Amino acid sequence: MKYYSLNHNAPKVSFKEAVIQGLASDKGLYFPENITALDPAFFDKIESLSHKEIAFEAIKQFVGDEIPADKLKEIIADTLVFDFPVVKVEDGIYSLELFHGPTMAFKDVGARFMSRCLGYFNKDKKDAKNTVLVATSGDTGGAVASGFLGVDGVDVVILYPSGKVSDIQEKQLTTLGQNIKALEVDGVFDDCQDMVKKAFLDETLAHKNLTSANSINIARWLPQMFYFFFAYKALKSQNKSLVFSCPSGNFGNICAGIMAKKLGLPIEHFVASTNVNDTVPRFLENGKYDPKPSKATISNAMDVGNPSNFIRIQELYNNDLKAFEKDFSSYSYTDEETLVALKNIYNTDGYIAEPHGAVGYLGLKKELEKHSNAIGIFLETAHPIKFLDVVEPALGITLPIPAQIESVINEEKVSVKIGTYEELKEFLGQLN
Ligand SMILES: *Cc1c(COP(=O)(O)O)cnc(C)c1O
């Protein structure tokens, strides 16, 4: 399978090159040249297949022959080591829980899959290491740290803003050791992001084989298709149309859902639910794509002013706005509305959500008014413990600490403080 750059000014590359480079040389996102729908017989018998078998069928055409089938099956088995329950919240509304992985955020699947692909591609290159460089405002860093821990031939350097991530998130980044290094930046998230971007453009660092590990990387983005297949399998016997609502920030998750639909998965409608970072809802309202600087909210993993995967969604619809609007809606919610929803879901349904899931629930409820015969599914993208400063006071409860969190919370933090780009360069220079 070949991938082209959405800026159309770079050579086509293989799956392997696209994973290693992350972004094309013209700074465009990579996109697969062909998308072939799966055999209808696959959907007829999906309930008899395991999650691993479903995932293999969904992703194999995108990997092509660059990873042998046996090895790809192994990578998938090593990625999907936890469950994805579909939990009934109220009549016609389900939560697809994506937070049962090692860092309790849905990014675990993409990070694990990408790390194992990179590890495979590096297997014969014992001396030329890859360096994954990533800036995080919270959840990405933890999932990447855990996903890449101990992967041969890959160093991971995570930049995070000092004092601006939660205690649990900081522990998830800074306590693992081995090939995972945490840099604590004196600044805000945008400063971390700027340093990372500068490093990618810095030719004196070319020998470090830098790559990114956010959803612009196809190996982090594509495995997110699996969730939609798993939910379909769980709900198929009800024989109803499905509406999915994704709490959206960089729009990687929802874009993967649209890919699943392209593969033939019967999904009636998608809702991109956002907080007040509402670039896409505004676009659907007035036809103008007008990104704004991000605003801080209680659903902070979605504080994105210019969602990087939106361009992939437009490509999936050939920039045909009519076709796009038929399948896709987007609504935005304030923190106040999110808190009211969080309380209602708990008091009425007895379900403990967290702010991102609550935003997803709100968008779903609104869209379902137009789909009287459908079942709605919102993606619950993080465990409530990850946002305990919001959830506990809002609901007046104390959450038990899950084992995954307990295991890092008492470990000792190890980080290197930096303040300037020169210090980042010096640090990268010392890695070998
Ligand atoms: C990353 C993240 C999101 C946003 O996902 P996108 O794919 O960037 O739209 C939503 N919720 C949580 C908890 C996240 O960590």
303 lines ligand 1 (CB under 6 A): no
Shared domain for 136 and 167, answered yes or no, is: yes
Q: Is 93 exposed, middle or buried (0-12, 13-18, 19+ CB in 10 A)?
A: buried
What pLDDT is stored for residue 127 in this prediction? 62
Shared domain for 236 and 283, answered yes or no, is: yes
360 lines ligand 1 (CB under 6 A): no
Shared domain for 381 and 411, answered yes or no, is: no
220 lines ligand 1 (CB under 6 A): no
139 lines ligand 1 (CB under 6 A): yes
- Cα 148 to averaged position of ligand 1 atoms, centre (Å): 19
Shared domain for 299 and 412, answered yes or no, is: no
Encoding tokens for residue 373? Answer: 């015969």
How many Å is the maximal CA-CA distance in the chain?
60
CA distance 197 to 159: 12
Are the CB atoms for 215 and 21 separated by under 8 Å? Answer: no
Which CATH number does the domain housing residue 178 bear? 3.40.50.1100
Shared domain for 366 and 409, answered yes or no, is: no
> Is 178 a residue whose pLDDT tops 80?
yes
Is 147 part of any domain?
A: yes
The closest residue, in CA terms, to atom 2 on ligand 1 is 301
Shared domain for 233 and 94, answered yes or no, is: yes
The closest residue, in CA terms, to atom 11 on ligand 1 is 381
Q: Please give the helix or strand (H or E) that residue 36 lies within, else none.
A: none
What is the position in ligand 1's atom list of the atom closest to the CA of 249? 9
Helices (H), 86-238: 107-121, 139-148, 167-174, 189-201, 218-221, 226-235
Is 111 part of any domain?
A: no
267-292 in b/e form (b: 16+ CB < 10 A) is: bbbbbbbbbbbbbbbbbbeeeeeeee
103 lines ligand 1 (CB under 6 A): no
Encoding tokens for residue 404? Answer: 């995954």
What pLDDT is stored for residue 190 in this prediction? 80
The strand ranges marked E within 65-189 are 86-90, 93-97, 130-135, 154-161, 180-185
What is the position in ligand 1's atom list of the atom closest to the CA of 248? 9
Pocket perturbation via mutation, ligand 1, pick of 106, 298, 379, 386 by most ligand atoms within 8 A of CB:
106
CA distance 114 to 252: 14
Encoding tokens for residue 417? Answer: 């403080």
Shared domain for 168 and 245, answered yes or no, is: no
Is 302 part of any domain?
A: yes
Distance set, CA 331 to CA 257, 287, 357 (Å): 17, 15, 14
The closest residue, in CA terms, to atom 14 on ligand 1 is 301
What pLDDT is stored for residue 201 in this prediction? 84
Length of the chain, in residues: 432
Q: Mean pLDDT over residues 106-129, rounded?
A: 88
Is 74 part of any domain?
A: no
Taken in order 104, 110, 113, 119, is the CA torsion positive or negative? negative
CA distance 137 to 222: 22
383 lines ligand 1 (CB under 6 A): no
**Residue 44: which region, alpha, beta or left (left: phi > 0; alpha: psi -120 to 50)?**
alpha
Counting residues of the chain whose pLDDT is more than 70, the rounded percentage is 99
Model pLDDT for residues 198-216, shown as the tens digit of each residue: 898 898 998 888 998 888 8
- Cα 139 to averaged position of ligand 1 atoms, centre (Å): 8
The model's pTM is: 0.95
Shared domain for 232 and 333, answered yes or no, is: yes
CA distance 391 to 377: 21
> Is 152 a residue whose pLDDT tops 90?
no
247 lines ligand 1 (CB under 6 A): yes
Residues near 230 by beta carbon (within 8 Å), at least 6 away in sequence:
51, 54, 84, 86, 96
Is 307 part of any domain?
A: yes
312 lines ligand 1 (CB under 6 A): no
- Cα 301 to averaged position of ligand 1 atoms, centre (Å): 5
Q: Mean pLDDT over residues 266-283, rounded?
A: 97
> Is 197 a residue whose pLDDT tops 70?
yes
What is the position in ligand 1's atom list of the atom closest to the CA of 356? 11
Q: 122 or 272, which is more confident?
A: 272
* Confidence class for position 155, pLDDT limits 50, 70, 90: very high
Is 140 part of any domain?
A: yes
Count: domains in the chain: 2
Pick from 139, 87, 146: nearest CA to 113: 146
Domain that residue 141 falls in: 129-208+401-431
Shared domain for 261 and 278, answered yes or no, is: yes
* Full strand arrangement of the beta sheet holding 13-14: 13-14, 2-5, 30-32
Shared domain for 255 and 178, answered yes or no, is: no
Pocket perturbation via mutation, ligand 1, pick of 271, 277, 302, 383 by most ligand atoms within 8 A of CB:
302
313 lines ligand 1 (CB under 6 A): no
Question: Can 288 be counted among the known catalytic residues?
Answer: no
Are the CB atoms for 125 and 164 separated by under 8 Å? Answer: no
Q: How far apart are the first and last CA of the chain?
A: 33
Are the CB atoms for 173 and 95 separated by under 8 Å? Answer: no
Is 196 part of any domain?
A: yes
Shared domain for 197 and 238, answered yes or no, is: no
Are the CB atoms for 14 and 1 separated by under 8 Å? Answer: yes
249 lines ligand 1 (CB under 6 A): yes
Choice among 107, 208, 386, 425 that is catalytic = 107
DSSP 8-state assignment for residue 351:
-
CB atoms inside a 10 Å sphere around CB 124: 8
CB atoms inside a 10 Å sphere around CB 101: 24
* Cα Rg, the chain, nearest whole Å: 21
Angle between helices 226-235 and 252-262 (to 10 degrees): 60
CA distance 55 to 49: 10
Are the CB atoms for 49 and 22 separated by under 8 Å? Answer: no
Is 254 part of any domain?
A: yes
> Is 398 a residue whose pLDDT tops 90?
yes
CA distance 172 to 411: 9
What pLDDT is stored for residue 179 in this prediction? 95
> Is 415 a residue whose pLDDT tops 70?
yes
What is the position in ligand 1's atom list of the atom closest to the CA of 256? 7
Model pLDDT for residues 60-72, shown as the tens digit of each residue: 999 999 999 999 9
- Cα 66 to averaged position of ligand 1 atoms, centre (Å): 29
Shared domain for 241 and 379, answered yes or no, is: yes
> Is 432 a residue whose pLDDT tops 80?
no
